[in-house]
Amino acid sequence: MSASRLCLLAASCLSGLLFSSALMAAPMAETNGPGEEAFDCRSLAEAEAPETARQWLERSLWAGHCYLYDAHAVRIGHDGVRTLTLSHDVRDGIERGVASYLDGPPMVFERRGRVGRLGGSGEGGEALPSPAGIAERVDGLYRLQLGGEERIANRRVLRLDIAPLDSFRFGHRLWLDQATGLTLKQSLLDETGRPLETFQLTALERPRLYQGEVRLDRLREAPADPWRLGWLPDGFAPQPADTRSARHGEGVIHRLYSDGLATLSLFVAPIGEVELLAPGLHRLGVSNAAVRHRELGGEPRQLVVMGELPPRVLLRVADSLAWEAP
């Protein structure tokens, strides 16, 4: 994995900010068959208006799955301001979201799949339903508080402040459309409350509720790995997602961990099978990456821990990894 490829992976991780439902988007899987779980999007039209911060968060997550729309947006980050288009569609219960940058290096991100779950179905896994389970998890790790009303993209919005209850994760601020629940603006905040990145819709075109059900991902077991992590921030659980990618070779093992809002990526590979990165910390836009070269399982390996988390958290996770005895 070269430095340029690391940057490409970071760009892919950043695409999570482009869709409010990104953390719940499961990869495409085989048909679940009879009895598969689903959520009827039409129920949102009849549901009572949310009253609490947690109810607004859950509504926004379901809205991100159930509304069809096209939009224009801007992303404000370390590299300045970039414009892009977004689209979200649902076909036969399967979601498809596309984000295309209109300036700077050409980049297109696509997400296609079912509504995912926060955790696996194996021993120790929680397999929480989404987004209800995610709202419950987040409410225990962050302080949720409703702010005032504002106007964004010519629509009335309600601000939702999400502040971490510890120092191991960043805060978030969401501006939710009062008519649909969709997230029209969101900011990632560092430990001092300063915005690291802001993503905002400038035009939301024809938002309409999907008249059908969105399918939930089947129960999955988290993959068995030859290592264990001695430390993770409270609330982070391994994600039973298929992380195979053409962006890295077969020798690279990629795992995901999430607390419902923040996501951590772990890459482990024999040093002889990848291009080496300099050990230490790398700043990759809004993400950070901790790189370690360690003797694990009888051979030298490169560890890369990446995420939108404080750098010291990524370093501690990397240093806590221990290889299991065969």
Q: How confident is the model at residue 10, as a pLDDT?
A: 45
Q: How confident is the model at residue 18, as a pLDDT?
A: 44
Q: How confident is the model at residue 252, as a pLDDT?
A: 83
Q: What is the pLDDT along the chain (326 residues), one digit of tens a residue?
A: 444 444 444 444 444 444 443 333 444 343 445 557 899 999 999 999 999 999 999 999 999 999 999 999 999 988 789 999 999 999 999 999 999 999 988 999 999 988 877 765 454 445 456 788 889 899 999 999 999 999 999 999 999 999 999 999 999 999 999 999 999 999 999 989 999 999 999 999 999 999 999 998 877 777 778 889 999 999 998 887 655 555 555 678 899 999 999 999 999 999 988 888 999 999 887 889 999 999 998 899 999 999 999 999 999 999 999 998 66
Q: For the purposes of burial, counting CB atoms within 10 Å of the CB of 238, is it exposed (0-12), middle (13-18) or buried (19 or more)?
A: buried
Q: How confident is the model at residue 245, as a pLDDT?
A: 56
Q: How confident is the model at residue 62, as a pLDDT?
A: 95
Q: How confident is the model at residue 224, as a pLDDT?
A: 79
Q: Scanning the structure block, which residue is given the tokens 């030298």?
A: 300
Predicted TM-score of the model (pTM): 0.86
Q: How confident is the model at residue 91, as a pLDDT?
A: 95
Amino acid (one-letter) located at 325:
A
47-56 as b/e, with b when 16 or more CB fall inside 10 Å? eeebeebbbb
Q: How confident is the model at residue 14, as a pLDDT?
A: 43
Q: How confident is the model at residue 2, as a pLDDT?
A: 47
Q: How confident is the model at residue 223, as a pLDDT?
A: 74
Q: For the purposes of burial, counting CB atoms within 10 Å of the CB of 196, is it exposed (0-12), middle (13-18) or buried (19 or more)?
A: middle
Q: How confident is the model at residue 119, as a pLDDT?
A: 63
Q: What angle do CA 94, 221, 23 make, to 5 degrees?
A: 45
Q: How confident is the model at residue 188, as a pLDDT?
A: 96
Q: How confident is the model at residue 219, as a pLDDT?
A: 75
Q: How confident is the model at residue 246, as a pLDDT?
A: 53
Distances (CA, A) of 309 to 122, 157, 258, 287, 290: 27, 27, 11, 7, 11
